[in-house]
Structure formats: structure tokens, C-alpha cells
Structure 1
């Protein structure tokens, strides 16, 4: 084969790999036996209540699920179907960025590494705001690289579109803006023209402006949620370097051990290769922020997801001349990619010892159906709970039951979306209150009494005993 034909062959193999992995994921979705996870069910509900923002996140994931369920119905397959498709699109953008920055072989490895990454394998089964954000981050990075090579109104508009849409997916997209500013400060070769900056800012702001207004109109609930529930820095008592090491180790599980190891090895080339230094600016600041958070409080591995777009590109560059390490890295990732969808097919029976392997993802719908049975037996048509997980599945599983579902009303800042948007209104009569408390609700009205209606242990996700109480609605409201 002539040298000129080699790049096309590399591209063909990469495209075929991305397509086959995606088709495999889609083919097994209808057989997935796992229930919707708490976040999945919550994002589905957001899609039923279209808005420019929600309690803790921007709106794009809700919009995506609204579109997918409008096409395919409210079944779990339709809810999950957009996930592998979006990841396939992201892999294509990563492939294109790798080809533009490092050449055909590096781009092919980067695209295949992305689509088979362990975190992507998981996120192709669970709804996550990271999924659309990563697509936008990759598109913005490709656009920015093109603009550093030559001015272009088209690429500037594309970058602004990616930044704006990515911010509507997850506010972590703003890491890209920070990195682009750092790149401009640190290297003349990483700067783009003032005109292109203006075009990108105009397009991006036009997309984000409605969400900013929504946040203003809703007391910046998303910001308050992040400060009070995610960062936790103000409540941290001490530094914990063990958490930092755990967070760093978790990044190997996000993109794959060989792939992330190749990225770290590639960082040694920062001074010698401008391209590696450029990509480091779009990854290291994200990692640094998340590691600092981990030093002071609990942090999730996916909080550093934005850093991995550039990491895949650097890994592709490092591995391009190392076929054995490439085969090992992609092979490890592919093994997990193939195994996870199969595991979900047997979610209700696959065990390790006495425990279900995927116990966190089964039993939720069963609990909701049992709650509905108890309510009907008691002659009640209203279900109330203060537990976000219980409410999330009840809203989804019991959507056609005719039962009214509400969150326990609270004073002060609401602890979750349901308390913010679906609190129990005052009124007459009784409700069925579901909780893990053996003593029932703490009634605010003197004289209101709760009567236990049922107690049971859930299968799978919950190890605690659940209680259903027959409670006067006035229990939740202080007497005037």
C-alpha cells in the first residue's frame, strides 16, 4: 500500500471501531434489566418540565431526554439511547482533533480510546450531564486549535456555539474558557484574533443568557447547591492527602490505565512540543482544581471529566509509535466496554458471593410499585417522601398510576429538585408518607399523629428497612 493510502486506512479502522462499539451498545439497550438510577429518573422528569434551568444543573440534559422520549416513548430504552450516540459523536470530534493536531494515527488512537474508555462505557448506560458537555468541550477544543492556525469567522462561531451549548449541559464547560485564557497568556502561538474572540463570545453569550436569567429568577439555586452540597470546603475540618491520591488513581479508571498513563508520560514533552504544552493547558488546570477540592472534601472522579478530552489526544500522540502499548490500552478498555452492557442484561441475577453485582441499580421500581399497592390498600391517593431517591423513581415508575406524588415540605433552602418544585401543598385529608424512619414524621402541628401502614425491606439498592405511614396532611404544616 502506498504511503498516501495509509491515512485513509487508519481513518477507516477508527470509524469502523467507533461505529461497531456504538451499535453494540444500542443493540443491548432493550435488554437492560437495571432500573433507572436516581439521576436518570430525575433528568427524565426535567424533560417533562421544560425550562431554562433546573435545581442543580443547566437544562440541556432535560431537553435531550424530552426529544428522545418524544420520539421513542417514556421507556428506559428511549431514555438511554441518546447516550451512546452522543459519545460516538464525541469520539468523532476527538478523532478529528487528534488528526488536526498530531496526524492520522494519533487521531485514530485518541478516538478509539475515547469511545472505549471505562467512564464512557459507564456513561453510555447512565444519564450524565458530562455526556453532552464532553462533546461540546471536544468541539470547542478543535475549533480553538483551528483558530490558532488561522482566523475564521466560521470556526469562531463554532467555538462560541460549543461553549454556550456546553455551558447549558454542565457549568464545568467554563473550564474551557479558563484554559483558553491561560493559553493566550502563556503562549503567543495559542492566541486567536480579537475578531474571532468577539464572535465566539457573542454566540456563546446568546446561548447562555436565558439560563443566566433563569438562575437570577430562581435565587441562583444551582450556585447555592454547588456551594452547599458539592464543594463543602467551608465545612472541611482538615486536609486529607489520601483523598488526593484516591482522586488521582480514579483518573486511571476514567480513561483507562494505559491511556491515562500515556497521557502522564506525554506531559514530559511539554517544553519540547508546543502541541503537548497546548493540550496540557486544557487538562492540568481542571485536574488541579479537582485535586484541591479532594484535599479538603469528598469529590467524585467525574468532576475532572473535562480534563480527559485533552488527555486522550496526548495519549494518542504518545502511543502512535507504540503498537503493543496501544493494543494493550485499547484492549483493556474494550474488554470493559463489551462486558458492562452484558452485565446490565443480567442485573437482577448476576452475583458476587451473596450480593448482586449491580445491586445499586435494581429494586427501585419494585419499591415504587409496592408503595402504590400500600397507598391503594389504605385508600389514599397521595404519596409523600423526603427522600430524593424514593421520589425520583416514584415520579417515573408511577407516572401513569393516577397517584399524586409530592416531596415533604421543608423550611429554608430545598435539599433537592423535588422539594423545590413539587412540595406537598396544604389541604385536608391524609397522605402516605414513605421514609426509613421507624418513628414516622416529626409533625409540626400539635395533635397530628402518624399510623404505620407497612414496613418492608427492599431488594437490591437499599439495605435499610422502609416504612409507610398514614399521616394527616396537616402534619407537615405548623398550625397558624
Structure 2
């Protein structure tokens, strides 16, 4: 979009609002078409198929995540079945609503022109492209976080209004059911009330505390589920903070990975703008206005913590996603001329290069995806294995299930990574209930939380194994025979499953969920 469109100062708010909705509609149409193209050439990612399988058994918790992503997938499965287009369009819907919420927030904080600039900055980040293409737990979290930012500020403008606080409570509650990171938001609410002189009366406002408490009550069923399952998600999450002793070179490489990856996700110049704005804002905290202090408080402490954490361990790229939202809005305010903190350079050159670089990166990303998947080019091994030709794999696997001698008394099992079970469950035409064998004897996925083949004693087992069948599995059956293989070419390599039919399951040792999961390799 030409930079001149963004810097017109004489357009009324209604015109910029109208421009935003036109922009949003145009982007939505493009992304729907791109999603349809992508779904025609790429399958669900392993995590998406895994969460879809969760959706077939709705619960108040799962092995590694709160329940919301499973519930969303359950709704998709109920209405659309095993439809990858429905999964991807749900991600697009959540991302579009998030963008609308951020526009509304920025317009409330500043004006519609600044909101339009903020929307453009968000759209021109590679991270936003991915968010709208893959349905992960970050999609509902970012929507809830953006709405919470909007609703809390809205509530502070009329703190005696109960319905504003109650609406915020619902959003906080839904957010906590989406991802644990949402638990930070009530802390930020209290911190802002304490540190903003104009907002200290909120600390005595019963409505704010009621909203926090009501939001927290959404966790009660989750906590009861966790207690029943021996706090399995906490055990899993704790392993994210495991560290190891590294040499200087490897330590430096791992540490620098944190800013490098974040710069790629948000485009280098835009990321640099966000860092500069946050740095100057915190350095001149007293000179910052109330709205700037609000946005700074919702980002700076968290980014400092992640930076320090990067000194001791690897940071997953999506962990700080919600904390980059306020800096994007501050960058938009700077570009629009609303932010004039000491130490900030002139915005014009930064704005021009931010739009150019980020726009170029997003364009290259879309063209790259279109070329790679449209022409079926060989790319990274992990990308090929995870996104390509699972449909063909599932159809081939389903042919073996059609031929079993006792179809009503045959279960399906997958060995190896949890993605094998998830992808087969999604892609096989019969969409069978998949069981998984975990060699460690510890719960390492949701498949070990659910009942295993011990509930199918006396039945036959159709087993898909990427390697030779382990004797531990074979001895559980009266007899086992290899009936064939499923092999699908992935460029120079292939996806291979040996197929076994185990007759009459004699016994099976269930994995006790009281054992903590092992660290991931």
C-alpha cells in the first residue's frame, strides 16, 4: 500500500474506519482463496491433526494444553467432519477477528487513522500470515488477549459499569481455557492500576476484582481434571524450562536465536521499531502518557523476562506472541505522530522501510508457499514429512483396514511419533480410534492419557509401524503376521509404515498416568 495513503492528516475518522473495513474485506477474500489453494496442496500439520483427534473426545484438559483448542476442533469435527479446509478457515476467522479487535483498541486509544496503520503493520508480519493459516492454540489466545486489552481499557473509561467488567471476565476465562499465558493478564491489570496514578482508584473498585475472580473460576473444572490426572500438564510444561550445559559457541548461538527468530517473525525493521519504542518508553516512563504506560506495561516486563530466560534455555518462537501486540500499536502511534518521547528518531524513514521490508517478506512468503506446494518442490525434510501426502498415506492405510477378517473386532494402532497416530486418524477414510504404543512406559502424549488397547482384550490389532515391530508389542497377541506396507514417496525419500495384523490381544500393560512424562529429546 503506498505510504502516502497512510500519512494523510485531513481525513476524518469515518473515512479511515471505512478504509480499514475495505482493507479487511480485501485481505479476507485473498486469504480465503489462498487457504483453498494451500489446502489443495498441503495437509494438516501434525499438531492440527493431533488437536483434531482431541476434538473427538472433548474434556476439561489434555496432556499438554488447556481444553479450548480441543473444543474448537470438536465443533469443527461435528459440523464438517475431517475437513482440513474447515480447520484452516477457522484459523482465518479467529485471525480476522483479532485484527478487528486490535483496530478497535487502537482507535479507542488514539484514532481511526492510527488503527488503520496498526492493522497494516500487523498484516505485514510473517507471524500473522502463519497465524491465519494454521489452527494452533495461539489463534484463540491472541483473540482473547486482544479483546482483553480492549475491554480492560474500555472498562477503565467507565469503571462503575458492571457489564464492561463482566464481559472482560468472560474473555479472561475463555483465554485461560485457551493457553496458560492468559493467566498473566489479570496480573497486568493490577499492576497498571497500581502504577498509573490516574487509575489507582481501580484497586478499590470491587468490579475489577470481581472480573478477575470470575475469570479465574473458568479454571476450576480444569484444575479438577488436572488433579484427577496427577497434574500431567504442569509436569509437561515444567520440561519446557529444562536446560543443559553448553559450550560458549553453542550457548551464544542459542541465546541469539531468540532475537533473530523474533525479528524474522515480525520483519526486521518493524521488530527494530518495536524494540526502540519500548526502550524509549520505559526509559522515559514519566514522560509517557496514560495510554502509552498501559501498552508499555503490557509488554516490557514480559520481554525482559523472556530475554533473561533466553540466557539459560531455548525460547519457543510463539511463547512471547501476545507481548508483541502492544509494541505494534505503539509503533503505529509513533508512525501516526502521536508518540513523541525523548530519544525517538524521526518516524518517516522508519515507517517507509518498515512497510517496504515487511511487505516484501510477506509477499515472498506467499509466493514461496505457492511455488513450493503448487509445483510440489522438495523443501525441508520436516516440512515434507509433516505436510505432504498424508491423504495418500491414509487412503492406503484404510485399504488394509477394509480387508481385516474381523472388522467389528479390530482396532488400529500406530507406533512412533504421536503425529503418526493423529495423521492416520484424520486421513484414513474410516477415521478410526487410534491407539499408540509408547516405548518409554511413560505418558508422552494424549494417547497415553486415554485408555489404551487394554480395553480391547480379545480383539485383533491392525498395527502401522515405521520400524520393525518390537517384540514387546508382538508378544501381547496370540499371533502376529506382516500383511504389507504403506509407502508414499516424498521426493527422494518415502514415508513407510510396515503393516501388521495381530490376532487376539491377550494382554496389555496400561501406562499409569501417575508417572511424569520424560523430557522431550
What does 1:355-370 align with in structure 2 at a 5 Å threshold?
359=384, 360-370=386-396
1:421 corresponds in structure 2 to 450
Contact 2:413–2:463, Cα closer than 8 Å, also in 1 = yes
User: Is 2:323 aligned against 1:310?
Assistant: no
2: CA distance, partners of 1:188 / 1:98: 22
The farther-off stretch of 367-376 and 241-250 is 367-376
1: CA distance, partners of 2:166 / 2:404: 59
Shift of 1:68: 3.8
1:47 corresponds in structure 2 to 55
Q: Which runs of 5+ in 1 are unaligned?
A: none
2:375 corresponds in structure 1 to 350
The farther-off stretch of 363-372 and 290-299 is 290-299
- The CA deviation string for residues 282-304 of structure 1, in whole angstroms up to 9 with x for no partner, is 11333334344443333320111
User: Is 2:119 aligned against 1:111?
Assistant: yes
1:468 corresponds in structure 2 to 499
1: CA distance, partners of 2:475 / 2:198: 68
What does 1:208-247 align with in structure 2 at a 5 Å threshold?
208-228=219-239, 230-233=240-243, 236-238=244-246, 240-247=251-258
2: CA distance, partners of 1:334 / 1:109: 13
2:74 corresponds in structure 1 to 66
CA gap 1:438/1:71 in 2 versus in 1, 3 angstroms: closer
Shift of 1:92: 1.5
2: CA distance, partners of 1:400 / 1:478: 27
Shift of 1:313: 1.0
Contact 2:299–2:323, Cα closer than 8 Å, also in 1 = yes
Contact 2:20–2:116, Cα closer than 8 Å, also in 1 = yes
1: CA distance, partners of 2:193 / 2:213: 19
2:36 corresponds in structure 1 to 30
Contact 1:263–1:318, Cα closer than 8 Å, also in 2 = no
Q: Which runs of 5+ in 2 are unaligned?
A: 1-7, 338-346, 511-521
**Which one of the candidate residues 129, 147, 154 is aligned to 2:163?**
154
1:329 corresponds in structure 2 to 354
2:514 corresponds in structure 1 to none
2: CA distance, partners of 1:282 / 1:447: 57
The farther-off stretch of 145-154 and 131-140 is 145-154
**Which one of the candidate residues 55, 74, 94 is aligned to 2:102?**
94
2:489 corresponds in structure 1 to 459
Contact 1:147–1:155, Cα closer than 8 Å, also in 2 = yes
**Which one of the candidate residues 220, 239, 261 is aligned to 2:272?**
261
2: CA distance, partners of 1:67 / 1:429: 31
Q: Please provide the CA RMSD for this pair.
A: 3.3
CA gap 1:232/1:449 in 2 versus in 1, 3 angstroms: farther
Aligned residues: 475
Shift of 1:409: 5.9
1: CA distance, partners of 2:374 / 2:470: 33
Shift of 1:315: 1.5
- The CA deviation string for residues 264-299 of structure 1, in whole angstroms up to 9 with x for no partner, is 111213313144343222113333343444433333
1:440 corresponds in structure 2 to 470
1: CA distance, partners of 2:54 / 2:329: 34
CA gap 1:56/1:470 in 2 versus in 1, 3 angstroms: same
Shift of 1:57: 1.2
2: CA distance, partners of 1:423 / 1:290: 38
**Which one of the candidate residues 276, 283, 296 is aligned to 2:299?**
283
CA gap 1:451/1:291 in 2 versus in 1, 3 angstroms: farther
Shift of 1:333: 3.8
Contact 2:309–2:315, Cα closer than 8 Å, also in 1 = yes
For residue 434 of structure 2, give the secondary structure of its aligned residue in structure 1. Answer: strand
Contact 2:186–2:212, Cα closer than 8 Å, also in 1 = no
2: CA distance, partners of 1:120 / 1:200: 30
For residue 54 of structure 1, give the secondary structure of its aligned residue in structure 2. Answer: coil
**Which one of the candidate residues 12, 15, 20 is aligned to 2:18?**
12
The farther-off stretch of 190-199 and 373-382 is 373-382
Contact 1:122–1:340, Cα closer than 8 Å, also in 2 = no
- The CA deviation string for residues 78-118 of structure 1, in whole angstroms up to 9 with x for no partner, is 12112112111111111122222233332221122223421
TM-score (norm 2): 0.80
2: CA distance, partners of 1:123 / 1:244: 25
User: Is 2:488 aligned against 1:477?
Assistant: no
2: CA distance, partners of 1:224 / 1:419: 14
Contact 2:480–2:502, Cα closer than 8 Å, also in 1 = yes
CA gap 1:294/1:14 in 2 versus in 1, 3 angstroms: same
For residue 442 of structure 1, give the secondary structure of its aligned residue in structure 2. Answer: helix
Contact 2:458–2:504, Cα closer than 8 Å, also in 1 = yes
CA gap 1:399/1:170 in 2 versus in 1, 3 angstroms: farther
TM-score (norm 1): 0.86
CA gap 1:174/1:404 in 2 versus in 1, 3 angstroms: closer
2:173 corresponds in structure 1 to 164
